[in-house]
Structure 1
Amino acid sequence: MKKLPIGVSTLQKIRDDDCVYVDKTAYVQQLIESGTYYFLSRPRRFGKSLLVDTLYQLFQGNEALFRGLHIHPHWDWSVSYPVINISFASGDFTSRVGLERHIHYILRINQERLGVQCDDHDDISSCFNELIRNAKTKYGRNVVVLVDEYDKPILDNIERSTELATEIRDTLRSFYSVIKGQDANIRFVLLTGVSKFSKVSLFSGLNNLNDITIDARYSAICGYTQIELEHTFADYLQGVDLSVMKRWYNGYGWLGERVYNPFDVLLFLDKGKKYLPHWFETGSPTFLVDVLKKRRFHLPNLEAVRMDYKKLGDFDVDRLNIETLLFQTGYLTIQQEINNGEGRAPDYLLTYPNHEVRYSLMSYFLDNYLTETSHALGTVSEALYNGDLPAFEQHIRSLFANIAYENYNNNPIAQYEGYYAAVIYAFLCALGMETQAEVSTNQGRIDMAIRFIRPDGLRQVYVIEFKMVKGMESDGSAMQQIKAKDYAAPYRDGQHQITLLGMEFSEQARNLVGFAWEPLIL
């Protein structure tokens, strides 16, 4: 079997080492034939660097690497182009001086490789200008500019210092603006990164980029489609339940075909085909937790986030919209585009891409955002699966009893009544259960529904309502509302065992004061 290219982001190494390769050169051909200036945003570990390197090797005319690939018969291998390759994947970006030092280094490496020199070595923008002009003069062909991780110097500093991040952003804006002024000498440009900064803030000097981030034609330019997975990795997929794998790792979408994160696929196949949060564990969303606390964000709302076109890409150092952050970093993805009528920009409905992100993100938020303590989840899951609701009640009581007094006082979100629903929502998501929040019915909205297959093979649904009550005693209002609004109606399909569950919390007790359940006889 071919090797799995874990951690490999260069086409040369993949081909030389006989690694599995998913051919994306049809997208590359379409890009090159359709335009000149492009921008692409994708989450981390999504294959952006490999895409950039593929373009580098193609424009360099390394024909042997492309034999057997889609683009091979469609490319003129007698022609090669000078390529300026810029990557901010590594480097010291803790100061403007460090950033400029790194850019000087990148420009020097490109000068040496292309065999040209810049007379102005002090000013990075002037040197970049000279590099493009001199490369065009020497090779007699227009220049290709590829920029990978264009935004990393800014992102590395947003949490540390807004002032420094702004200074870094402004330095990069001046640097990138060189490209537009060199239009007569440019053959092709691609900038890639995780975030999409506002055009006004970062790309005001390079406003001719075609942003293909949300474009159905290029939705699968990075990542693996279901067909690509099953065809290219067929030898590795023996014995794998593809429906389970799809639920765990597929689901990322940018209006077109949905894809798997490549890193997840490769680690899953390499590490005994165990369903683990491989991608999630490559980065902790600590910065997101800080933003969530400031916003007092209600976590169940992440099930369905509606955003307009402008906000989806409206990101800047001093304007951090949590929904935009979650989308651009890969924790949310586009579920559907909503047409607002002729002459109006669309809205987008966002949700979790897959099970890995949903349960991992909620586990992290439960421990670091909602409660700041870690929780054992195994026995809770058993209680629910076995219908042992008294045991489940004790777990919920213990959950809130273990939340430190300081957490209630220091965590601002603990002061609103949705806090209790948010904690339980995150708690249940962390169990890996199919949890739906605020389910709409013709009588209102169900606070939460949990569905799963019981050990006896029957389908189970818990219909849950949360209430805040005054004082220290239950008033039965949660169960009363479930029945009055007939929240069980959507599940009376003859296929579900239905249990109604009402939970009542007291702000004074900071815990449950009412826990009532009632199975429905079908």
Structure 2
Amino acid sequence: SDICIRSFKRKYYCYKVLVVLIDEYDAPLTSCLNDRTLFNEVRGFLSEFYALLKANDEAIRFLFITGITKFNKASIFSELNNLVDISLNPQFGSLLGYTHEEVEMYFNSYISRASTALNLSKEDLLTTLTKQYYGFCFEVTARQKVFSPWSLLNFFASPSLGFCDYWFESGRRPSVLLEYVKSHTIRDPREYGREKTISLASLSGSSDLENLSDIGLLTQAGYLTIKAVEYGNTVFLDYPNLEVKRAMAQLYTELLLKGKVAGQVGAGNIVQVLRNGDPEEVFHTLNRLFTAIDYQNYPVTDEASVRAFIQVYLAGAGLDPKVERHNAHGRSDLEVKVGVRLWVFELKTAHEGKGADTALQEAIDQLTSRRYGEQDAAEKLERVALVFSLSERRFLRWTAVSKT
């Protein structure tokens, strides 16, 4: 309530003195998404709470509310109808992160210390930091991008550890996202690398429990960010940086393996296998991984899904795989650089009407005639043809293809 101060003239003056900060207003709701009855009870309780704030707004000097999921305002904030949504306002685009200019101005001494610790020039350090932690955009012009404060501060605290992934540690696995990845279209690993768009109205609007948008939810949770807005209403989205891209890949892999990580199914050493240059061990490691995928709603149904699962597996292991990389002769299925080695994989499927040996020869011919990987100045080029059986759900053939 108001604090009234009695003046010397015995008059009363009332001042707005309360500052109310509510962080993650939606947490009580997202924690009970699987219990509709409890969800409605919690929503009713929150609605009463916000109605109480509105009834006493003369005592509130400032009210700031944050959250991940934008639930329908009418069902929660029906009484508190004087809120101003600043989520996509360009005026506040840099509110929740550090701009490049701010990092160089306020963290110069930390940049110098990190450069020394990692034996990198300041320019190279900032370039890597940008790829790793930059790229979040929270406004509709798509001009202002920022660094993740949590990740950047953790890096500066211990730069000798290198460019670690801190995204999951910051609590970026909200239950609402986990539940929706399990049951909606984004559970398909082919969605991982596809271009994503959403209407501006859908992104900025609120939703009921029944019609939460998969893409909108990923954006609100920070896994996707605004890259461009075209035609006035079409928002193009992508992963903001390598850290988040890997985090999403890890999430996909765990869902495909029913909560297990690659190391628990004997496929946790893929980076070292690729670094050592052993294509036969790559073949066996991939088979252990694919064999571990849960048979219910088995997602590997064609060549594209084979490639997509390998892509999320490699990305989740900390690598940066590229799919359908173009050169003058065609486009390779999948490429990934590990140390001094550039790996190029050409994938084929054996199925009814096409045997494994025929598919393998097709892959070999493509690697040879289209000269995949030769456009790069890699110290060591490793090209591998792989054939996956859709019926047996494992790789049947492989061969290394030398540069001609």
Scaled by the length of structure 1, what TM-score is found?
0.61
Q: In structure 2, the residue corresponding to 1:434 is in which secondary structure?
A: coil
**Whole-angstrom distance in 1 between the partners of 2:95 and 2:78:** 26
Q: What are the ranges of 5 or more consecutive residues in structure 1 without an aligned counterpart?
A: 1-110, 117-136
| Aligned equivalents of 2:370, 2:74: Cα separation in 1 | 50
SS of 1:327's partner is helix
Query: Could you tell me whether the CA contact under 8 Å between 1:180 and 1:205 is conserved in 2?
Result: yes
Asked if structure 2 preserves the Cα contact closer than 8 Å seen for 1:463 and 1:498, the reply is: no
Cα pair 1:433 1:450 within 8 Å, conserved: no
CA distance in 2: counterparts of 1:327 and 1:310, whole angstroms: 14
Deviations along 1:369-400, whole A, 9 cap, x unmatched?
44543323664223324443222112112222
- Which residue, out of 424, 427, 452, partners 2:313? 427
Match 1:503 to one of 362, 368, 386: 386
2:244 aligned partner, one-letter code: V
- Report if the CA contact (8 A) 1:421-1:466 is conserved: no
In structure 2, relative to structure 1, the CA distance for the partners of 1:149 and 1:372 (3 Å cut) is closer
Distance 1:492 1:200 in 2: 58
| 1:167-186 matched pairs, under 5 angstroms | 167-176=41-50
Identical aligned pairs, as a percentage?
Answer: 24
Q: Please tell me whether the aligned partners of residues 302 and 351 of structure 1 are also in contact (alpha carbons under 8 angstroms).
A: no
Aligned length: 375
Q: Which residue among 370, 379, 395 is the counterpart of 2:285?
A: 395
1:227-246 equivalences under 5 Å are 227-237=101-111, 238-240=113-115, 241-246=125-130
Counterpart of 2:241 in structure 1 is 354
Aligned pairs for 1:257-276 (under 5 A) are: 257-274=144-161, 275-276=163-164
Is the 1:162–1:317 Cα contact (8 Å) retained in structure 2? no
Partner of 1:219: 93
The 5-angstrom pairing of residues 124-203 of structure 1 reads 139-140=13-14, 146-149=20-23, 151-176=25-50, 189-203=63-77
Which whole-Å CA distance do the structure 2 matches of 1:350 and 1:190 have between them?
Answer: 27
Residue 335 of structure 2 corresponds to 450
What displacement does 1:428 show? Answer: 0.7
TM-superposed CA distance for 1:508, in Å, is 2.6
Pairing 1:367-446 to 2, within 5 Å after superposition: 367-376=254-263, 379-401=269-291, 403=292, 407-409=294-296, 412-414=297-299, 416-417=301-302, 419-437=305-323
Q: What 5-or-longer segments of structure 2 have no aligned partner?
A: 5-10, 116-124
Asked whether the equivalents of residues 352 and 358 of structure 1 are also in contact (C-alpha less than 8 Å), the reply is yes
- Report the alpha carbon displacement of residue 310 of structure 1 after superposing the two structures with TM: 2.7
- Asked whether the 8 Å contact 2:254–2:261 carries over to 1, the reply is yes
Tell me if structure 1 keeps the 8 A contact 2:348–2:363: no
Q: Given that residues 346 and 367 in structure 2 are in contact (C-alpha distance below 8 angstroms), is that contact kept between their aligned partners in structure 1?
A: no
How far apart are the structure 2 equivalents of 1:323 and 1:440? 28
- Rounded Cα–Cα distance in structure 2 between residues aligned with 1:172 and 1:390: 58
Classify 1:273/1:261 alpha carbon distance in 2 versus 1 (closer, same or farther; 3 Å). Answer: farther
Q: Distance in 2 between matches of 1:155 and 1:480?
A: 53
In structure 2, the CA distance between the partners of 1:150 and 1:461, relative to structure 1 (3 Å rule), is closer
Cα displacement (A) at 1:408:
0.8
Q: Counterparts of 1:425 and 1:188 in 2: how far apart (Å)?
A: 47
SS state of the match for residue 427, structure 1?
A: helix
Question: RMSD of the alignment, in Å?
Answer: 3.9
Q: Quick check: 1:441–1:487 contact (8 Å CA) kept in 2?
A: no
1:512 counterpart letter in structure 2: F
Cα distance between partner residues in 2 of 1:291 and 1:226 = 34
Give yes or no for the alignment of 1:470 onto 2:352: yes
State TM-score, norm by structure 2. 0.76
